[in-house]
A and B are shown apart, each in its own frame.
Chain A
Amino acid sequence: MDEMKDAILEYVADEYIDEDDEIELTADTALISSGIVDSFSMVSLRAFLEKKYDVRLPDGEATPDAFDTVNSIIALVQKHLG
């Protein structure tokens, strides 16, 4: 769980946050609703999750709400881990 959290946090920081952004990223930081990630660029995160954890996240569940925090993302991935 912690390993997954760290991996996702690291990906989000690398993929979406610039060096000069003063954003303190935690597993509860709002990603979509705060504007750090928008639903168009969310596709990168989804592809990363599907590849890294070998899961298929259905369109109906890979929603901006489900992707709003790292914790909610973890819950979604765990649900589909089988």
Chain B
Amino acid sequence: MAYSEKTRQVFAGEIEEIRGKGLYKEKRFIWSPQGAEIEVEFPEGASREKVLNFCANNYLGLSSHPDVLKAAHDGLESRGYGMSSVRFICGTQDIHRELQDKVSAFLGMEDTLLFPSCMDANAGVFEAVLGTDDVIIADRLIHASLVDGIRLCQAAYDTFKHMDMKHLRKKLELHRDKRSMMVVTDGVFSMDGDLAPLDEMCDLCDEYGAMLLVDDSHGTGFIGKTGRGAHEHFGVIDRVDVITTTFGKALGGASGGCVSGRRELIELCRQKARPYLFSNSLSPVIVSATISVVDLLTKTTERRDKLESNTKYFREKITEAGLNVREGVTPIVPVMLYNAKLANDMSRDMYAEGIYVIGFFFPVVPAGAARIRVQLSAAHEVEHIGPREAARRREGSRRTGAARCAAPASSRRSVREPDDRGRARAGRA
């Protein structure tokens, strides 16, 4: 038997090691559509609980929106379920082209190429456009998929301290003899909710002749006055060279992603990016639904405005309640607790009270920087954020009194998403 007992023990040992490090991902089953209130079976086999959901990336509340469902049905009826082909053989329909054109217009970019996910977009873009004469200079807290994509590429790479523009300048200076330089950042960092200072980054890139790539998966659809993303927020829509983003979060939440940017770079991706060349086309169902989302967001800012208002309200109230929240404007609100057990216990207790949030602690975030990450949505109503406020306040005050008194200096460090060697990378849930 090929799968011997010895082999089984090797794998079982590795799983135990993951458990031992506190990194084991428990199974959680959702019995309802995605939304502000969901029905959860956790742990596996437990009775289902209706809980308020504060841990989805459903920022605009479109995952189960009737208009999106209708568009998905229309796509299914008019274009079928699957393409049974990669894009360049017989997997491109008129609606794939339509979505690419609409995303280009929405993001203010020259061209766009669809990928099965943003993970695939990030895995493909660097290798397609950069080579051994080039260098990639990346923020240290970029998403795991960017890290993987950079490692797949033959270009040299270097890193700069999280959002530290002096350090970025130093690295641009160090590598200015390369054929081309590409600076890489997240638009919104998923564990902190930080917005990368794209205006300053564009200035530096201009000064040193570097390109700028932004993964705006946690920003597309709602950051900026009309929701175009972090580049709109900083007034640099025409200065960012490449944006990678996902349809799996604010834009309907199913799956799919894209690379959008300078025409030649997109054409190179179309010719060379392996996840594009060797993966199936996005399903017509998803393409059709995503077109409807982009149309909706182009027509009205109502949902991103509601999300902004929910975010502001929640940030104000949670701060008034005495909890220490990482400052910012994004709907990712890390409530800093500084103590791993506290974060773990508090998320468990809040689940028992019907509030679904996740605690993060070392090695997922730096030692001493444990927190609960709250993600807001336009699907939340004030009563979702409001009436339970008192309970949360009681819970927060009781548990965090000590934590507030003595937050260690190390906890002020920027949160990094640990890597895949020795410290499991949290990834972007």
Query: Which listed residue, B367, B416, B421, touches A34 by the CB 8 Å rule?
Result: B367
Are A39 and B140 in contact, with the CB atoms below 8 A? Answer: no
- Within B397-428, the residues touching A (CB, 8 Å) are 408-410, 412-413, 416, 418-423
- Within A11-52, the residues touching B (CB, 8 Å) are 16, 18, 20-23, 32-35, 38-41, 43-44, 47
Are B367 and A38 in contact, with the CB atoms below 8 A? Answer: no
Complex CA–CA separation, A21 to B369 (angstroms) = 13
Are A38 and B158 in contact, with the CB atoms below 8 A? Answer: no
Residues of chain A within 8 A (CB-CB) of B222 are none
Q: Does B360 contact A (CB under 8 A)?
A: no
Interface on chain A toward B: helix, strand, loop, or mixed SS? loop
**How many residues on B have C-beta within 8 angstroms of the other chain's C-beta atoms?**
24
Complex CA–CA separation, A43 to B138 (angstroms) = 11
Closest to A32 in B: B422
- Within B205-262, the residues touching A (CB, 8 Å) are none
Residues of chain B within 8 A (CB-CB) of A33 are 422-423
Residues of chain A within 8 A (CB-CB) of B422 are 32-33, 39, 64
Query: Which listed residue, A21, A32, A38, touches B140 by the CB 8 Å rule?
Result: A38
Residues of chain A within 8 A (CB-CB) of B140 are 38, 40-41
Residues of chain A within 8 A (CB-CB) of B147 are 40
Q: Does B124 contact A (CB under 8 A)?
A: no
Are A38 and B409 in contact, with the CB atoms below 8 A? Answer: no
Q: A20-B412, A22-B410 are in contact. Are A35 and B421 (CB under 8 A)?
A: no
Query: Which listed residue, B157, B366, B367, B421, touches A43 by the CB 8 Å rule?
Result: B157
Where the two chains meet, the residues of A that have a C-beta atom closer than 8 Å to any C-beta of B are 16, 18, 20-23, 32-35, 38-41, 43-44, 47, 64
Where the two chains meet, the residues of B that have a C-beta atom closer than 8 Å to any C-beta of A are 138, 140, 147, 156-159, 161, 362-363, 366-367, 408-410, 412-413, 416, 418-423
